[in-house]
Structure 1
Amino acid sequence: MLIFKPFKGIHMKDTSLSNFPMYSPDKYTEEQIKAKLRNKNPSYIDIIKPTFFKGESPLENRFKKVRKRYEEYINENLLESDPSSIYIYEQTKRNGLTFRGVIGLVDVENFKNNDIKVSERANEQKQEIFSKFLDLTYLQTNPVILSYNSNSKLEVMIDLEIKSKPLINIEDELGITHKLWNVENRLKIAQFKETIENLPSLYLIDGCYRMAGAIAHSDKIKAKNKSKDLLFDNNHYIMSLIVSSQSIKISEYNYLIKSLNGLTKKDFFDKLETHFTINRKGNNPYYPSHKHHISMYYNGEFYGLYIKHEFRNIPEGLGCMDNYLFRKFIVESIFNIQTLKQEKELITYLQGSGDIKGIMDLKAAVDNREYAVGFGFYPANFQDLQTVSDLGKKIPFKSAYIEPNLLLGLLMFDMK
């Protein structure tokens, strides 16, 4: 059974400090990170500053310094803790696109018991590092994202809460607005808890390695404290944002291939024709308008690659993912790439936009002679992720870019 509960969220005391939280460091250039580190104002990056000095000391020592810096922020009255609450989160982009959901704690056992379906494989290196981070800092600063098929009762409850003044209302460096409401009324919490715990199914759509790292941390704590009552031990819960499938956006990743590995154009196209019908588009930029249609840009021209019907949807679940079929019929069949390590040496992944802009970005990269050929995809949808998850399978690497993209440090969970 799903377990969802409130927690005492930690956040900046001055809730107007828009520069306190930040996106994941990999979203910034090296210069942008250096500029943030030079900033003397209170900020989340100041708390995790020791993690950026890789040559200074072992990772464990740097994580201990993060915990120490966090406690200094608490003692300096820069951060505050709420009463036990659940939270409503809303993000609005400049184009008006809005995402919203409910933040609370989910028991790690719900992931281990498959009460929450996981469609992605965790990056083992990131998982191990994050587990060590939790072991030494006891801080969760970015919720994993869980999604469900739209539930009218839960949507109405959220609608009612966001009519009040938000606890936090900031605009970030990208012009995106983030609002946070805390719900501490016991009756309301009980209503949210009951509704969420009775959802037919939940799916992890972002934060796979953090989920796996939190489970590993929990297992270590359990091994050390076998007789302890786990119900009141925060180390066994994961901060989670629960959003409707109607309140997420799934965009594609497009792929750039560095070389044809010695194949001539004729050899390459002959091999493609085994599994694809090829439609020459010439100079007209082509964005695939359907699943099983792939855009290809090669030697200054666009082509439509249409996966032949006899090869679609096989095997069940994975066969609905164009990225899987691309790997099977191009990456493996034509280039003989069998491992993810080999794939990363051949392919660069380019975040798409759900429209022609992503295709033009792909074209520019190939025209700059950085790559031999580019492939653009039609985005997967939530039903695709559900199908793969329900069958107990995992989607291919870099199959979907999912929003909302959350800020680190906007809301934190101290497990101590």
Structure 2
Amino acid sequence: MAIIRPFRGLRPTPALADKVAARPYDVLGAPEAKLEAAGNPYSFYHVSKSEIDLPEGTDVYSQPVYDKAAENLQRFISEGTLFQDDTPCYYIYRLVMNGRSQTGLVCISSISDYNSGIIKKHEFTRPDKEKDRINNIKTTNAQTGNVFLAYNDVPAINSLIDQWTVHHSPAYDFTATDGIQHTIWVVDDNATNDNITALFDTKVPHTYIADGHHRAASASMVQKELEEQQRIGLDDPANYFLTTIFPASQLVILDYNRVVKDLNGLSKEDLLSKLEYDFVVEPIGHLPQAPSMLHEFSMYLDGSWYRLVAQEGTFSYDPIGILDVTILSNNVLDKLLGIKDQRTDKRIDFVGGIRGLQELVKRVDSGEHKVAFALYPVTIQQLFDIADSGNVMPPKSTWFEPKLRDGLVSHLL
């Protein structure tokens, strides 16, 4: 059963919450972060994307970046931008996007649950991304990136959380510049917290990582290193990691698309011809069209869009084989474009569906990439089925929206 705990969250003074809140560190690059933080000394990008405060061209994985993050975090604390609650609390976090809301519980989850498989994974991680988060955690002595978990609905938990939001005022309630509303309640009642802890311990056999595989893996590795060095005890905060857990019924997965830098030595005509062995290939013009069903893909190449429909016999019906990300990986990325490991191959990049198909056009038309593929999104049940089977999806298979904001609740070690 799932082990979760309340904790003494590090969070903004209420008047500054909307100024502190920042998009997750891994959904934007340094130039975007620098632009969004311009004129805002309170932005959490000064911690999560601290390269914005260093000379242009600084290696984002270099130690000065992590040192600057630690320096800025301590400055936020000393100046009162951030403060730590006196007693352990749970935090209820509601996001509203386009009229749809989802409400989760901010807590710390057990790293032993992660290691033993009670917290289930559906993706492999990339070593370079793991190392980045490890260095960030060790240098800042904090977990500032939230791991987004999901669980099969438990009515008693949903009801308890809903009741708290009805009868208590939120600590923060603001709408960000992208139109997403963020509301957080602080659960500071010991009896309620004990009840929440007990419900997860008795009613939730598993939680599932929806977003944040690298953050979870890195927290586990840091904990292991500290344990081997005999620097932590049983109740140490480093035995847990920062999570927000949502009921599955409230979640929506968007597409997660691919762009590739070259055609692996093929001409445009060669690629189109070879695709016809496994797909029905249809030109669809110059305007973007998203896939409308499973096993259908949209490809952007040399200024034109094509519909690709996987033919029978080119995929299997097991939980992994039936996924569109698997079909694309096996029949196009590996077979034709020579991309064997999407975790490490620098020729491929991933574009979340929230950016729209125009982002794919932009990447290809700029010459930065040669071809783009848009996919139909997987379902939350597919994600659970794969995690339950012990399998993993290809990297970057799911994109969840809306995103949690960094900086609203952090976990100090």
TM-score (norm 1): 0.86
Aligned to 1:384: 382
Deviations 1:322-378 (A, max 9, x none): 111112111222233323378542x4433325xxx9445545655677655443211
Deviation at residue 114 of structure 1 after TM alignment: 0.5
Aligned to 1:324: 326
Partners of 1:36 and 1:300 in 2: CA distance: 31
**Is residue 106 of structure 1 aligned with residue 109 of structure 2?**
yes
Where do 5+ consecutive residues of structure 1 fail to align? none
Aligned to 2:18: 18
**Is residue 172 of structure 1 aligned with residue 176 of structure 2?**
yes
Q: Given that residues 106 and 243 in structure 2 are in contact (C-alpha distance below 8 angstroms), is that contact kept between their aligned partners in structure 1? A: yes
Aligned to 1:97: 100
Aligned to 2:214: 209
Aligned to 1:351: 352
Q: Which of 221, 237, 248 is the aligned partner of 2:240?
A: 237
Partners of 2:363 and 2:133 in 1: CA distance: 33
- 303-312 or 254-263: bigger deviation: 254-263
Shift of the 11–311 alpha-carbon distance from structure 1 to 2, 3 Å rule, reads: same
Shift of the 272–96 alpha-carbon distance from structure 1 to 2, 3 Å rule, reads: same
Shift of the 322–99 alpha-carbon distance from structure 1 to 2, 3 Å rule, reads: same
For 1:98, the aligned partner's letter is S
Deviation at residue 101 of structure 1 after TM alignment: 0.4
For 2:133, the aligned partner's letter is F
Deviation at residue 28 of structure 1 after TM alignment: 4.7
Q: Which of 304, 309, 314 is the aligned partner of 1:306?
A: 309
Aligned to 1:292: 295
Q: Given that residues 248 and 404 in structure 1 are in contact (C-alpha distance below 8 angstroms), is that contact kept between their aligned partners in structure 2? A: no
Aligned to 1:271: 274
* Larger-gyration structure (1/2): 1
Shift of the 361–293 alpha-carbon distance from structure 1 to 2, 3 Å rule, reads: same
> Which structure 2 residues correspond to residues 9-408 of structure 1 after superposition, within 5 A?
9-25=9-25, 27-28=27-28, 30-34=30-34, 39=39, 41-47=41-47, 51=51, 52-53=53-54, 59-60=62-63, 63-64=66-67, 66-82=69-85, 83-93=87-97, 95-163=98-166, 164-197=168-201, 198-225=203-230, 229-230=233-234, 232-264=235-267, 267-281=270-284, 286-298=289-301, 302-313=305-316, 316-340=318-342, 343-345=345-347, 347-353=348-354, 358-359=356-357, 361-362=359-360, 372-408=370-406
Shift of the 141–339 alpha-carbon distance from structure 1 to 2, 3 Å rule, reads: closer
Partners of 2:301 and 2:233 in 1: CA distance: 61
Partners of 2:253 and 2:204 in 1: CA distance: 22
Deviation at residue 106 of structure 1 after TM alignment: 0.8
Deviation at residue 396 of structure 1 after TM alignment: 1.0
Aligned pairs, how many? 407
Q: Given that residues 19 and 172 in structure 1 are in contact (C-alpha distance below 8 angstroms), is that contact kept between their aligned partners in structure 2? A: no
Partners of 1:201 and 1:144 in 2: CA distance: 15
Deviation at residue 112 of structure 1 after TM alignment: 0.4
SS of structure 1 residue aligned to 2:173:
strand
Q: Given that residues 90 and 180 in structure 1 are in contact (C-alpha distance below 8 angstroms), is that contact kept between their aligned partners in structure 2? A: yes
Deviations 1:210-243 (A, max 9, x none): 11111111112212227x641x211110111001
- 181-190 or 359-368: bigger deviation: 359-368
Partners of 1:18 and 1:151 in 2: CA distance: 31
Shift of the 9–2 alpha-carbon distance from structure 1 to 2, 3 Å rule, reads: same
Deviations 1:146-168 (A, max 9, x none): 11122222221221111121011
Partners of 1:335 and 1:35 in 2: CA distance: 35
Deviations 1:364-416 (A, max 9, x none): 6556776554432111111222222222222112322122312111111112x
Identity of aligned residues (%): 25
Q: Given that residues 264 and 336 in structure 2 are in contact (C-alpha distance below 8 angstroms), is that contact kept between their aligned partners in structure 1? A: no
Deviation at residue 180 of structure 1 after TM alignment: 0.6
Partners of 1:132 and 1:141 in 2: CA distance: 12
Shift of the 180–309 alpha-carbon distance from structure 1 to 2, 3 Å rule, reads: same
